[in-house]
Amino acid sequence: MTVRVQEAPFDPAVELDGFAAGRTDTGAQVTFTGLVRGDGGLHHMEIEHYPGMTEKAIAAIEADAVRRWDLTASLVIHRYGRLAPGERIMMVATAAPHRKAAFEAAEFLMDYLKSRAPFWKREASETGAAWVAAKDEDEAALDRW
């Protein structure tokens, strides 16, 4: 289980190189990478977070995933600060003996990171900046777990 909250960019290829290394009981790895989408004239995004709580909240979500699925490894990286369209915001990786657990655990991690990890996005365009409002569908997505 690894959690990293950082301002700096990351390279998924480098992260995956050592992921679940040395485990011969892993048959499946799933990765998800989230990027800044340049909708509606977005110039850049600012991500604020709650240092201290962020790491704890993500670790608790990851621990929950490990309890629910038979994971051999998991990784969450989430950035904060100023990000331009096309930049990577975050990634999730899961490893399990079989693919169903790896896919489901990755979706679970994503759903919970959306609305239970203390990050707040602010979008800036040429005309101004606004905080991104939480979506009802993101809250509803937790119900299936």
Partner 1 sequence: MIDVLYFAWVRERIGLPKERVKTGAATVSGLVDELRAREARYEAAFADTSALRVALDQELADFDAPLEGVREVAFFPPMTGG
Q: How far is the CB of 89 from partner 1 (least distance, A)?
A: 8
Residue 90 contacts partner 1 per CB under 8 A: yes
Beta-carbon-side half-sphere exposure of residue 128 (alpha carbons within 13 Å): 3
- Shortest Cβ distance from residue 26 to partner 1 (Å)? 25
Of 27 and 52, the one with the shorter C-beta distance to partner 1 is 52
Among 44, 118, 124, 125, binds partner 1 (CB under 8 A): 118
In three-state secondary structure terms, 48 is strand
What is the smallest separation between the CB atom of 35 and partner 1, expressed in angstroms?
11
31 binds partner 1 (CB under 8 A): no
Half-sphere exposure of 70 (CA within 13 A, CB side): 9
CA dihedral sign, ordered 9, 142, 102, 63: positive
Q: SS3 sequence, 74-102? A: EEEEEECEEECCCCEEEEEEEEECCHHHH
Name the minimum Å distance from CB 69 to partner 1. 19
Q: Is 9:84 a contact under the CB 8 Å cutoff?
A: no
CA–CA dist 109, 17 (Å, integer): 21
How far apart CA 58 and CA 127 sit, in angstroms, is 34
| Per CB under 8 A, 105 contacts partner 1 | no
- Asked whether position 4 contacts partner 1 by CB under 8 A, the answer is no
Residue 116 engages partner 1 in binding (rule: CB under 8 A)? yes
Q: Does residue 134 bind partner 1 (CB under 8 A)? A: yes
Using CB under 8 A, list all residues that contact partner 1. Answer: 34, 48, 50, 52-53, 56-57, 78, 89-90, 110, 113-122, 131-134, 138-139
